[in-house]
Amino acid sequence: MTVGRLAARFGLSRTTLLYYDRLGLLQPSSRSAGGYRIYDDADVARLATICRLRQAGLPLAEIRRAMDSDAPQLVAALAVRLGELEDQIEVLRGRQRAILTSLATGREGDRTWSLDKASLSGLLVDAGADPAGLVAWHAAAENADGELHRRLLESLDLPADEVERIRGLGSQSSGATT
């Protein structure tokens, strides 16, 4: 298979494969009489692995080290990347909790403000949320910190039955907006 065909098969550019060759990450198994790179089935399988590892977020240097060593090295690289992703997720969850806390308490730094249902709904709609997006937002807030989500809804002076209805939106496939 030529470099162009291999690139097309994986949805990559020809330049990407030439870069992988320069890095020693994916070298052609042979060359044609005209000097064109030729890739065999083993090269195709290697590129498939490279693509999976890139999708997992591993940098090319780490992929090269992992692929040029034993399988345990590859497993170790994936385990490290998984740990990094878990750390990033925890940071994002912390930010999500901080936003929910600010919304629930009506405080931003030293300033105090009040929020009502119409203002919150308007803000979310203005930010691009459609009715399904509002349901998804409430489901995510409930999943992130159900107690804080409840306090936010109660701070909007909603009746208890409406608070419970909104908190349950995440388990429905469609539902009402805020």
Q: Is the dihedral of CA 67, 21, 45, 16 positive or negative?
A: positive
- List, in sequence order, every residue forming a beta bridge with 38; answer none if it has no partner: 2, 30
pLDDT in tens, 80-91: 888 888 999 998
Where in the chain are the domains? 3-59, 76-171
| 146-154 long-range Cβ contacts below 8 angstroms, 24+ apart | 148/97, 148/100, 148/101, 148/104, 149/100, 149/104, 151/104, 151/105, 152/100, 152/103, 152/104
The model carries a pTM of 0.51
The pLDDT assigned to 106 comes to 65
**CATH match of 3-59 with 1.20.140.10:** no
pLDDT in tens, 117-163: 777 777 777 777 787 878 888 888 888 888 888 888 888 878 889 88
